[in-house]
Chain A
Amino acid sequence: MTPSVLAGLVGAALVGLGLYGLILHPHPLRKLLAFNLIGSGVFLVFGIVARRGAAAGLRFDPVPQAMVITGIVVAFAASALAVALILRLSAETSRLTLDPEAWTKPDGKDAT
């Protein structure tokens, strides 16, 4: 098994793990972590395509690698925006739920 194939399989596993966490965790920050796991898994799968592209006599294919670099920065920007939204939501309502019905039914458990 070459390192590229192994890294690709790790990427696939990361996407699966991230998807599981994204759906099941109620906490928005945990969802964000899970989403970032999916993202890095996708980058890895994309990255092994780069490793395989030795066709031009290079040791790697620079095109996917360059796009992964761009992708990492964009993923960070999106995470930062998400964190700002989550923090504002918590400051505004002192709760963090994404449950749409939470707004309609009065909930005695956590006083707002």
Chain B
Amino acid sequence: MTLLSILDVELALLIVGVAIWTIAARDLFGAVVGYVAYGLLLAFVWIRLYAPDVALTEAAVGGGVTGVLLITAGKRLGALKNAVPDAQPRLAFKLLTAALAALVACAIGAAVLMLPDPPPSLAPDAAAAANGAGAGLGNPITAVLMSYRSFDTMLEKVVLILAVIGVWSVGTDKAWGGAPAPFRKAKSYPPMVFFAQFLAPVGVLIGIHLFWAGANAPGGAFQGGALLAAMWMVTMMARLVEPPPVDAQWLRLSLVAGPAVFLIAGLAGEIVAGSFFAYPPSLAKPIILLIEAFMVLSIAAALPMLVAGPPSERTDP
């Protein structure tokens, strides 16, 4: 057994251990903190699988932004005592569920062990796409996202908008048109303001760097956008800025800008290059960067709005 495989087993045990804690913890908040730790730990596994792009996304979205969402929800719901019936499921039912879960896990495990060798792969197609329409992109993942599977990426942006609409519509009728509840009810606290003031500029810089470097190195629109979103959230948490009202024109424009520009570029491809989402080779890289820039804007606007929740009636003037 080599040193590396010992490390892998250690990491695997740690991940599964924290996952078990998330399921088995007695109180709600313990489970939520466990899940946040688990999200950060997942980034390790992706590094071990040589997937720094995925690790970056997992760290930013899974660890950071989801952390704020769940901690907030967990704290608010934790205050509700007896909201859920205490009745424990019967032992037989528990055992039955455990058996079912074990069966599913074993089936997936067996499938993992019996994967065909050599594995079927779309990598050659993707490599061709990277050399063709996505020419000039050194990062194959960005090439896949923006060229080979561009339709998925566009629809995923649409899903984000749908989710924002869904979250907004959960609010009461009276509050419609207002802003989501501020991230912090009390007045700001100096250390928090200091934290936001140094973190936000650095984070915005790093976010833009990730987006820009994403054409050739790990990074890209998702990761850059998620970092920018997190920085907006930090400034809102310090009450340096307030959440915007949901009917603000600029907010709505930023939300739809990503998919809209993507769609326009796709339709233009139909006319100019003969097929949907085909970019003329000489212009491929600038067009992809343009689309990505608007995607960054949309992601940075959508994620904080998802965390902020529905518009609320203002209680403080």
Contact = CB atoms under 8 A, between A and B. Distances in A.
A72 B56 CA distance: 11
Given A16-B105, A80-B306, 6 more contacts: A13-B105, A16-B108, A19-B104, A54-B123, A55-B124, A72-B54
Interface in A69-96: 69-70, 72-74, 76-81, 83-88, 90, 94-96
B141 A66 contact: yes
A9 B109 contact: yes
Contact of A17 (B20, B32, B80): B20
A1 B6 CA distance: 11
Interface in A5-34: 5-21, 23-27, 29-30, 33-34
A contact patch SS = helix
B85 interface: yes
Given A9-B109, A12-B112, A15-B105, A66 B144 contact: yes
Give the 3 A-B CB pairs with smallest separation, nearest first.
Answer: A16-B105, A8-B112, A53-B121
B82 A110 contact: yes
A39 to B, nearest CB: 10
A65 B139 CA distance: 12
User: Contact residue range for chain B?
Assistant: 35 or more
Contact of A76 (B8, B50, B61, B112): B61
A67 B50 contact: no
A61 B123 contact: yes
B49 A47 contact: yes
Nearest to A80: B306
A65 B84 contact: no
A12 B127 contact: no
B contact patch SS = helix
A72 B58 contact: yes
B240 interface: no
B152 A56 contact: no
Interface in B105-123: 105-106, 108-109, 111-113, 115, 118-119, 121-123
Interface of A: 1, 3-21, 23-27, 29-30, 33-34, 36-37, 40-41, 44-45, 47-63, 65-70, 72-74, 76-81, 83-88, 90, 94-97, 99, 102, 109-110
Contact of A61 (B31, B121, B310): B121
Interface of B: 4-5, 8-9, 12, 15-16, 19-20, 22-23, 28, 31-32, 35, 38, 42, 45-46, 48-51, 53-54, 57-58, 61-62, 65-66, 69-70, 73-74, 76-77, 80, 82-85, 87, 89, 93-94, 97-98, 100-102, 104-106, 108-109, 111-113, 115, 118-119, 121-127, 130, 140-141, 143-145, 148-149, 152-153, 156, 159-160, 162-163, 166-167, 170-171, 220, 222, 226, 299, 302-303, 306-307, 309-310
Contact of A78 (B19, B73, B122, B163): B163
A109 B156 CA distance: 44
B62 A40 contact: yes
Given A33-B32, A36-B35, A47 B15 contact: no
Contacts of B126: 56, 61-63
Contacts of A41: 108
B51 A26 contact: no
Contact of B16 (A14, A45, A48, A51): A14
A45 B306 CA distance: 28
Contact of A77 (B109, B111, B130, B163): B163
A68 B83 contact: no
A56 to B, nearest CB: 4
Given A17-B19, A63-B144, A11 B112 contact: yes
Contacts of A10: 12, 15-16, 45
A23 B97 CA distance: 7
Given A62-B143, A63-B123, A90-B83, A83 B70 contact: yes
